[in-house]
Structure 1
Amino acid sequence: MINSLKLFCLASSISCYQCNSTDIKYQFLCGEFMDTHVDELSAQPCLENNANYCIKLVGYHEGRFGVRRFCSVHNLDDRCEFSNIISGDERDYRTCVYTCSSDGCNGSSLVKSFRYLTGICFLPLFRRLLL
C-alpha cells in the first residue's frame, strides 16, 4: 500500500532539471543554454512535497556565479535583478530567476523564448479575428 502511494506521488509530481553548474559533475552540462537532449542530464521527478514549479536561477548565488536548476514549492516568478555584490568591484551583476510549471521546462531559456516568439507571431492573426 505504501509503495503504491509512493509511486502515485512520483507519477503526479512535476519533473524538473536538477543541477548546479558550480558542481564539478555538471559544470559543462548545466550551463545557461544547456542541451536538453543530452542523456547524462534529464528532468527528474521532484521529491519535495507538493513541488509544483521548476526554477532556473542564472547569475550569482551561494557565493558563486553559475546556473542552478531545481524544484520548488513556491512560484518565484520571472525576474532579473542587478546588484553590486562583490566588495570593491564597481560592476553591476545580473541575477535572473525563471519559474515554470511543466515537466522539464527549466531546461534551456531558448525553449521559453520560442514560446514567446510563437505567441508574438500569431498576435496579428488573433487581433484580426477580434476586429
Structure 2
Amino acid sequence: MVIAQEQVVAGFDPVLAPLIIGLPLAGAVILLLFGKRIGRLSGVLACGTIGLAAVIGLLNFIALLGAPEESRTATQHVFDFVSVGRLQTGVDLLLDPLSLVMVMVVTGVGALIHIYSIGYMH
C-alpha cells in the first residue's frame, strides 16, 4: 500500500493536503474513544484539529494564488484502495481553486462553530 505520494505540478506544491481530512477525522476518533476521560480538554482537541485543518487549507490556498494560472491544479495520491490485476483504484485528492475555497469555508465555519459551542456550553 502506497501512502501520500505527490504529483506536483510546476508552481503549486500541495502542503500536507491529506491532513485537511485526517486531522478532524483523527480528532473525532480520539473524542469518540477517550472523550469522557479527557474531560474539558475535549473542546480544545476538537477546536485544535478543525482549526489546524483550516490553517492547512489556507496555506494551500495562498500557495495556489502564487502559482501560474495554467498550473493551479494538483493531484495528490493518498493510497491505493483496490489493486487487482489491471484494475487499480486509488484515493486521490484534487486541489484546485474551487475545492480549496470549499475547504476554507467548511473548515473555517466548522472552527467557528466549535469555538462558539465551547463558550455556549460553559
Q: TM-score, normalised by structure 1?
A: 0.27
More helix by share: 2
More strand by share: 1
Q: TM-score, normalised by structure 2?
A: 0.28
